[in-house]
Structure 1
């Protein structure tokens, strides 16, 4: 049964391996283990944040020297997304023991869940696995498109410029200040270009990889809630009710229910702080990226930011969507209890079922550090805020264009 979780984790582990994060391997705080298993991450961390600091420095310098609103907003969403990537990846590393414990508990719950030969249960597992696979594939496709567009747009514009004027003006994907060197010098430009492309890959991988673990855990939890619902609906099936047999089944189901709810708590503890930062910055990123799409004159860069906009929307939507799925599936346990044949048993047994039904009405939910629930209502609020910021930016930008 644990094949659902383990199979879905393979692709994410493969991505993380190349940035130096090992999800399922216990790492000790010894010099030997840090050098062996953390050196690659430290190198990539320094590599990425060289560009992140350079982006922030460019924005500050641009504001001081009167750069246009379009130029300033060009780099703001990119630098913000870099910070999001850092926080998400560090949240996994700093909660390494909690991540291992979560994986252990998910496997334990899955291994102790009997789906037997029931077509309904097998269908539930297959649906969860296929939907998760489709989500990860779609997210990967958008990430690849975004990486390709940002990586090739400067080269395309350089080729067009050379065709028109017969000379090459070196461009880079991002506007970054590098200390001690001129990145547009022919001697340093190739290194700066490769540096920025790899940084882009690191950002996309860290954000999507961390989110894919979240999706995988939520899918497993939701599947377990749905399997529990099937068992609860069928807890009373015999014409001749056996009190002892019922008590044994009921005890096992309540223990399973408690274990699944505890899984939600484990996911909450790992992701709650990074989710809060993600929520706070999402409106800002969506607003600025949308503004760039409408304001930038170069089609190549506009397409790059359009892909970035779609990626940002999909990232925060899926985060809220899976949080909403966990809430909904946990509350549906109450409905499953009502659908059982509770009316055929004695009053004492019916009261036991009623207690579980009342408990299940309180949803197991994920939050952004208790600031907001992670569900689709939160997504609509983020979009509403982003639209307000976007309208304000367009209003500010209109007089400067007039």
Structure 2
């Protein structure tokens, strides 16, 4: 692949997202870093002021016996906001590790140039296509969700006006403010504030998740290249064992480098992933409940988009983790499939060590409590379904009693 590497090309796609969210992945000089931090602090205060207002709404709702559909309307949005806060804070907290991770991935790319270029180009093309599909799909869903939350209240205001000839102002989110947000003096400003808060949540989640996808994709590319080189290490024709030994030692160092890079990625994301797993079960449950319980079509469509976005967010988190696990285990198969029986015993021992180590997959975890793979996704869905059934059971009798 001519020109920029996959890593640099894809990171460049995050440039606008990073600027708007106030995050940075690469090393900046001091003035640039301060500028980004100021943007992040501004967004942090902006978003969390709305989260506090949402918490007050939930507290007031519980005290006043507000209908469950109204309470669950706001809860998934608040939890997703908490997820975005945590993800962005960990990106900032581990910024040095993030910088080092990018440098290490670039070093791996430089190292892989010395190997089969055609195979490298083919693998990178396949992985780039899949990564672009994932990012484009999520971008479309996120834009759709912003559009839905932005225009649903306006559509309902217009519908109510044509029915009753009265203007009843509405907001995207049911927050409690120290003033009347439906007063025409404040309503436009509050409306804009809530929409930008939603944008901040999506920007921060996208920045953290897209970087995770890029790193996982790049590590997978390196594991696939390593597997190819190990499998084709020993040629059919007779060759000098010393040359094979020299190449094998380089491949072993490559493998160790990949293990180290995966551990760094695990360090950056493990804590936020644990909270993401827990919150996703609740978010999917509450959003699914809103889709089935809310009669309003406009809000139903809005939460249906929210549900798809939540499902895909946790699915791709698990899928990319699963891809790293599988590709790292393929190194073991590659060591077995090479022509190991044609070389001397010392080289066979080296290959056995590589094979045994590769059988222990490189993996990402939620702080060690769960592996990040497709099995974890099924457990999240199972938990969500259990919570949904319980919530539906609690809600149905009260609905019948009205």
TM-score, with normalisation over the residues of structure 2? 0.97
Q: Which residue of 2 aligns with 1:39?
A: 38
Deviations 1:60-93 (A, max 9, x none): 1100110011111111101000000000011101
The aligned runs of 1:345-360 (5 Å cut-off) are 345-360=343-358
Name the SS for the 1:112 alignment partner.
helix
**Residues 336 and 266 of structure 1: CA distance in aligned 2, closer, same or farther (over 3 Å):** same
Give me the whole-angstrom Cα distance separating, in 1, the residues matched to 2:29 and 2:384.
40
**Residues 255 and 140 of structure 1: CA distance in aligned 2, closer, same or farther (over 3 Å):** same
Deviations 1:165-222 (A, max 9, x none): 111100000000112x210000000000000010111101111221000000000000
Name the SS for the 1:38 alignment partner.
helix
Q: Which residue of 1 aligns with 2:23?
A: 21
The aligned runs of 1:184-333 (5 Å cut-off) are 184-333=182-331
Q: Which residue of 1 aligns with 2:399?
A: 401
Instruction: Give the superposition deviation at 1:294.
Output: 0.3
Deviations 1:310-368 (A, max 9, x none): 00000000000000000000011000111111121122221211111011000000000
Name the SS for the 2:306 alignment partner.
helix
Name the SS for the 1:381 alignment partner.
helix
Which stretches of structure 1, 4 residues or longer, exceed 4 Å deviation after superposition?
32-35, 115-118
Question: Does structure 2 retain, via aligned residues, the 8 Å contact 1:13–1:23?
Answer: no
Instruction: Give the superposition deviation at 1:33.
Output: 6.2
* Residue among 182, 194, 198 paired with 2:180: 182
Give me the whole-angstrom Cα distance separating, in 1, the residues matched to 2:116 and 2:87.
40
**Residues 33 and 219 of structure 1: CA distance in aligned 2, closer, same or farther (over 3 Å):** closer
Give me the whole-angstrom Cα distance separating, in 2, the residues matched to 1:219 and 1:345.
34
Give me the whole-angstrom Cα distance separating, in 2, the residues matched to 1:37 and 1:384.
40
Name the SS for the 2:169 alignment partner.
coil
Q: Which residue of 2 aligns with 1:105?
A: 104
Q: How many residues are treated as equivalent by the alignment?
A: 398
Give me the whole-angstrom Cα distance separating, in 2, the residues matched to 1:316 and 1:307.
15
Give me the whole-angstrom Cα distance separating, in 2, the residues matched to 1:121 and 1:104.
20
Question: Does structure 1 retain, via aligned residues, the 8 Å contact 2:318–2:373?
Answer: yes
Instruction: Give the superposition deviation at 1:115.
Output: 6.1
Question: Does structure 2 retain, via aligned residues, the 8 Å contact 1:276–1:368?
Answer: yes
**Residues 286 and 378 of structure 1: CA distance in aligned 2, closer, same or farther (over 3 Å):** same
The aligned runs of 1:378-397 (5 Å cut-off) are 378-397=376-395
Instruction: Give the superposition deviation at 1:255.
Output: 0.5
Give me the whole-angstrom Cα distance separating, in 2, the residues matched to 1:204 and 1:338.
45
Give me the whole-angstrom Cα distance separating, in 1, the residues matched to 2:34 and 2:24.
13
- 1:85 has 2:78 as partner: no
Question: Does structure 2 retain, via aligned residues, the 8 Å contact 1:21–1:38?
Answer: yes
Instruction: Give the superposition deviation at 1:26.
Output: 3.3
Deviations 1:147-181 (A, max 9, x none): 100110000000000001111100000000112x2
Give me the whole-angstrom Cα distance separating, in 2, the residues matched to 1:363 and 1:34.
36
Q: Which residue of 2 aligns with 1:7?
A: 9
Give me the whole-angstrom Cα distance separating, in 2, the residues matched to 1:23 and 1:356.
33
Of stretches 54-63 and 36-45 in structure 1, the one that deviates more from structure 2 is 36-45
Give me the whole-angstrom Cα distance separating, in 1, the residues matched to 2:54 and 2:381.
26
Give me the whole-angstrom Cα distance separating, in 2, the residues matched to 1:21 and 1:66.
40
Give me the whole-angstrom Cα distance separating, in 2, the residues matched to 1:10 and 1:348.
46
Deviations 1:34-82 (A, max 9, x none): 6433111111111111111111110011001100111111111010000
Name the SS for the 2:298 alignment partner.
helix
Structure 2 unpaired stretches of 5+: none
Give me the whole-angstrom Cα distance separating, in 2, the residues matched to 1:118 and 1:205.
36
Question: Does structure 1 retain, via aligned residues, the 8 Å contact 2:241–2:343?
Answer: no
